[in-house]
Structure 1
């Protein structure tokens, strides 16, 4: 697939290798267990938020340490090799994983405002990317991922950016006031099950509400490539220590 250029646009898309598709199907089959709190690796997620309100976006963190099928998907060597080839990377390391469950709702509570991953994970100064894998076919009706093309080249201090914005149209208006009109390009990445996207840590991205009748579920995998850099003075939420643990933060590709 690879219809977009990572360095130019801040993201690219691709097709999962056959082995990853098998692990994806196994992970989908495990969803009832995950939601019931049954974890076969005998570890609990680092966080599970949004479950108090049926209309809110739900998020479960660190799936690769709680379930073997999810771990197989997240650490799949064929997929890691494909990503490394596209980015010309010599090493890829997992730093985290998050499962997002967007329920059917006309409420803005399932909206994720345009944000940069670097805003919410300031520990990583450079070398962090996100691999995004949908569990169903995604489109604008069910809240597909949206990228602001080339936004990883924009200035980093944009007051109107942030995942907490729940009116994405209003947020777009505010962002346009801070960015030259000729630079604005909003791309809805309507990935099918069996496809994936990868985006830069400074690429602005978000998603709207899920107006469909089905849950929109997707897995976001935080990866570090080559000589990544850390801001040791920034909040690290436990991830700095985890980087030295091969189980919590495994290397999945090495030249």
Structure 2
């Protein structure tokens, strides 16, 4: 069956309510205070094995080229293809707009409800997502993901309460190359140009920060998670990930989330050049011509307070 255009796709609806068991797992006031002080938070297991197993099958189909919906633009974003090579980090963006199984995981209401508590907002919408695959037995550190702050890539957003949910598809210990955050770094200034996702040398962060005029002590926190757990980090939190030195493939999805107040703004870099996000090419426009970052076909709601 041929995939549908994104604009005509009728996605299976997600249940927007939480069970009593899920509500019991929402962040406490103490958890929220921790997140706001440290810039990251790890949940107990909140996602069922069934949802994750469906997502694993969906990822396999995605890598084989199967799509439920197609984007109106097919270049200008990270989109690994088999011709790029098999023994490297695979980074595919906007997968939840193309695969029903991956969408079911990325848009879990419990993920949105947790994010809403942490960000102090009544609504959470999707902003972007990334399916990231790391091959096993990397002894050259080429499967590291370099230090970066997500907000540095999102200059066209107005909010500083954006956040990311990182969801592994399996238990993920240190050897598998989990996400690593720099504790408290979301409170630092001067991170607007920290875009080192593709820099695999994780030993150079201090030098990078000094070049940017930033002088802080660095505390790395590897977020080893069990299957079903989710980590969250603030959009200004510096993070990367270690190489996968284990015997197993590492597969995870990063779900980038926006709060109710976020909207588009025009932005220029230091050279006066207009900066754009790929998201702008997917969504509808407002009467004034600005991209609509609340367009439900591209930025669906994960959660909205009743």
Q: Which residue of 1 aligns with 2:200?
A: 166
| Residue in structure 2 matching 1:36, options 56, 60, 64 | 64
Q: More deviation in 96-105 or 150-159? A: 150-159
After TM superposition, the structure 1 = structure 2 runs for residues 87-166 of structure 1, keeping only pairs within 5 Å, are: 87-104=119-136, 105-126=138-159, 127-157=161-191, 162-166=196-200
**Partner deviation per Cα, 1:79-122 (whole Å, 9 max, x = no partner):** 32233234332010001111000112223321111100112232
After TM superposition, the structure 1 = structure 2 runs for residues 35-74 of structure 1, keeping only pairs within 5 Å, are: 35-39=63-67, 41-43=68-70, 47-49=78-80, 51=82, 52-74=84-106
Between structures 1 and 2, the one with greater strand share: 1
| Residue in structure 2 matching 1:235, options 261, 276, 290 | 276
Q: Secondary structure at the match of 1:227?
A: coil
Aligned length: 251
Instruction: For residue 29 of structure 1, report the CA deviation from its aligned partner.
Output: 2.3
Cα pair distance change 1:94/1:53, threshold 3 Å:
same
Cα pair distance change 1:118/1:82, threshold 3 Å:
closer
**Partner deviation per Cα, 1:157-181 (whole Å, 9 max, x = no partner):** 4877621221112x13425746545
Does residue 107 of structure 2 align to residue 75 of structure 1?
yes
**Partner deviation per Cα, 1:110-164 (whole Å, 9 max, x = no partner):** 1111100112232224232111101121122111110000101112248776212
Could you tell me the TM-score, scaled by structure 2's length?
Answer: 0.74
Cα pair distance change 1:16/1:79, threshold 3 Å:
farther
CA distance in 1 between counterparts of 2:202 and 2:144 reads 7
Q: Is the 8 A contact 2:80 2:91 kept in 1?
A: yes
Higher relative contact order (CA 8 A, sep 6+): 1
Instruction: For residue 220 of structure 1, report the CA deviation from its aligned partner.
Output: 0.5
Q: Which residue of 1 aligns with 2:4?
A: none
Instruction: For residue 250 of structure 1, report the CA deviation from its aligned partner.
Output: 0.6
Q: Is the 8 A contact 1:116 1:203 kept in 2?
A: yes
Give structure 1 stretches of 5+ with no counterpart.
none
CA RMSD of aligned residues (A): 2.5
CA distance in 1 between counterparts of 2:163 and 2:256 reads 6
Q: Which residue of 1 aligns with 2:243?
A: 209
| Residue in structure 2 matching 1:190, options 211, 214, 224 | 224
CA distance in 2 between counterparts of 1:223 and 1:76 reads 12
Could you tell me the TM-score, scaled by structure 1's length?
Answer: 0.87
Instruction: For residue 240 of structure 1, report the CA deviation from its aligned partner.
Output: 6.7
**Partner deviation per Cα, 1:20-77 (whole Å, 9 max, x = no partner):** 54322211122221110112x2325764227423332101111111111211112222
Q: Secondary structure at the match of 1:34?
A: helix
Q: Secondary structure at the match of 1:218?
A: strand
Does residue 48 of structure 2 align to residue 14 of structure 1?
no
Does residue 55 of structure 2 align to residue 27 of structure 1?
yes
Cα pair distance change 1:5/1:239, threshold 3 Å:
farther
Does residue 254 of structure 2 align to residue 220 of structure 1?
yes
Q: Is the 8 A contact 1:63 1:98 kept in 2?
A: yes
Give structure 2 stretches of 5+ with no counterpart.
1-24, 268-274, 284-292
CA distance in 1 between counterparts of 2:81 and 2:164 reads 22
